[in-house]
A and B are shown apart, each in its own frame.
Chain A
Amino acid sequence: MSCQCQDARHFRGARVWPSFDGMANAIEVSGLRKRYDDVEALRGVSFQVGVGEVFCMLGPNGAGKTTCTEILEGHRLASSGTVSVLGHDPARGERALLERIGVVLQSCGIQEELTVGELLDMYGRYYPRSRSAEELIELVELDAKRDTSAGSLSGGQRRRLDLALGLVGDPDLIFLDEPTTGFDPHARRQAWSTIRSLCSLGKTVFLTTHFMDEAQHLADRVAVMVNGEIVASGPPQDLGGRGELPTEIRFALPEGLGLAALPALPDGAVVVEERDGILVKTQDGVRVTHALTGWALERGIQLHNLAVAQPTLEDVYLALTREGEMEKEIR
């Protein structure tokens, strides 16, 4: 749940928050509701984010992710429910809280005439303890762009500058709204390792993303929001009972052989014919695979494109959000 690096709390700048049960939470949300005119964007959301945790909020567009994030950042006011961020109510916009959080918003403007170095200096002055422009420029690999004005950066470079600006106040908690949208694969890997390194410093990360591999790679815990409600949450490997979902075995039979040729499989295995092959779903992956490969060896048949896999986070996510969408239509 928390970061692998147990010594992180003793690192300079890392803090421990008091709490009643000894488990320190950076964010606590309970019964959060937000109503715009006649649309209820958040319908009773509750969750906690522990100190040092990377928490990822997933959900389709319009699910309420942004509204939820903006309430946590203090940009919007909740209609009801309680929200606590580092022990503060974000709606009050207290400076003591703003000094300890970093926000990387999507599509947030910048003073475009100033250079990368100047902007990092300028924003750094707003915080009581700030990280140096040099250090941040190196971290996001903008060394060559230090004296380039923000207005002439490419899209990906701008996002990296945004990330650096989010980190300039050496925050204890950082909000990242789709931090790698528009990055090339190399830059994404780089951003991921930056975010991972924040975690090893004991920082807490609240992330929203569209990319399942990003959530899988970075998050200690994932919550899926659909229609203003959290429909599932947990570590990415068990989300939505992913650990218990049937194993999927895919292969293609040689021409001339149909489903009828297959051997008898252990109980509970479901065989489905797909466009480009056969899919077998089973709770007992080892025995079914053994039965299939044994049969193929015996007959001297090739099972083309044989693959044995657990459902991916994306499969689970799509199943969860599809249910949510159907529920919405029924209502």
Chain B
Amino acid sequence: MSTATSIAVDERGSAAESRRGFGAELGLIAWQVFYEQRAFWRNRRRALASLAFPLMFLLIFGAIVHGHIKSRGNVSFINFYVPGIIAYTVMALGFSTMALSLAMLRDKGVIKRIRATPMPWASYLAGIVLSMVVTVIVATILLLVVGIAFYGASLRISALPGLVATIALGTACFTSLGIAASRLIPKPDSGTPILMFVTLPLSFISEVFFPLEEAETLRHIGAFFPLNPLANGLAPAFDPHMTGAGFAAHDLRSLAIWTVVGCVLMVRSMRVLSAKD
């Protein structure tokens, strides 16, 4: 084997290797989703914190609160809780879990390790985000099953398209904000209290746990942030008196605006995460 031929072989070989097809890239992301899911469910504490809490809220509220809400077209409490707690779960997973996971990956140097491999950072992040989407789907189905089977919540099948679209937009919104917020978490240890400080008060003023009938001002403040539009946007699917495909234009518009804001902040924060000095 002469040197000249081995160089020729080498050049052809590396050109083929480095130009991966779009399909192969998607395959790589799919594998990443698989491994992220594995890691997610194996960490019992994290899985519990993000799934068991919403489930527990639904079980307890569903068991102790009965009756109907006059201010919301006389809908029963369980048909108010199910969309509210789904919205809360989307926020807990998309925003809190996402921000915390990324802060942890950054702090432990996993991002640095990934950047030393040929796996593009964007594909790796796509894997994490899509894995989170899978978790949101699992959690939503779980909450729907419990709400409908145990407490008789009513889901209008004709409103499914609106429900799916609203959850998808809400997930995009909170995930982009979560990725952006990961930059603001100095140490993963301090992340949980910081995030609680944001999400818990927001949940109380966003009408996910109870309706704010009297507190006009708080309701207006809550309506400014994305959690309340998400909960309200999901509500039509559970209101038996309503018709239509379950699209709440006003709430979807608020969510879309927040998604744009989230994406702008996310891109800026991703630049910082991957910057070289």
Contacts and interface: CB of A to CB of B under 8 A. Distances in A.
User: In this complex, which of B20, B35, B113, B116 has the most chain A Cβ atoms within 10 angstroms of its Cβ?
Assistant: B116
Given A96-B18, A99-B18, A113-B38, A122 B31 contact: yes
Given A76-B277, A108-B112, A113-B39, A126 B10 contact: no
Contacts of B31: 122, 125
Nearest to A96: B18
A269 interface: no
User: In this complex, which of A16, A91, A114, A149 has the most chain B Cβ atoms within 10 angstroms of its Cβ?
Assistant: A16
Contacts of A17: 7, 10
B167 to A, nearest CB: 26
Contacts of A105: 109, 112-113, 116
A105 to B, nearest CB: 7
B14 interface: yes
Interface string A173-184: 000000000000
Contacts of B268: none
Contact of B35 (A10, A74, A95, A122): A122
B117 interface: yes
A103 B105 CA distance: 18
B3 A16 contact: yes
Is chain A's binding surface mostly helix, strand, loop or mixed? loop
A118 interface: yes
A98 interface: yes
A46 B42 CA distance: 48
B63 interface: no
A99 B3 CA distance: 22
Could you say which interface size class chain B belongs to?
20 to 34
B116 A16 contact: no
B119 interface: yes
Nearest to A104: B116
A111 B276 contact: no
Contact of A123 (B40, B112, B117): B117
B272 to A, nearest CB: 15
Could you say which interface size class chain A belongs to?
35 or more
B115 interface: yes
A149 B17 contact: no
A301 interface: no
B6 interface: yes
B193 interface: no
Interface string A118-140: 10001101111100000000000
B219 to A, nearest CB: 41
The 3 closest A-B pairs by CB, nearest first: A109-B108, A96-B18, A128-B17
Given A94-B18, A128-B18, A169-B117, 15 more contacts: A15-B6, A74-B115, A75-B116, A98-B116, A105-B112, A107-B109, A108-B110, A109-B108, A110-B110, A110-B113, A114-B35, A114-B39, A126-B119, A129-B17, A165-B113
Interface of B: 1, 3, 6-7, 10, 14-15, 17-18, 20, 28, 31-32, 35, 38-40, 42-43, 105, 107-110, 112-113, 115-120, 276-277
Interface of A: 9-10, 15-18, 36, 73-77, 91, 93-96, 98-101, 103, 105, 107-114, 118, 122-123, 125-129, 149, 165, 169
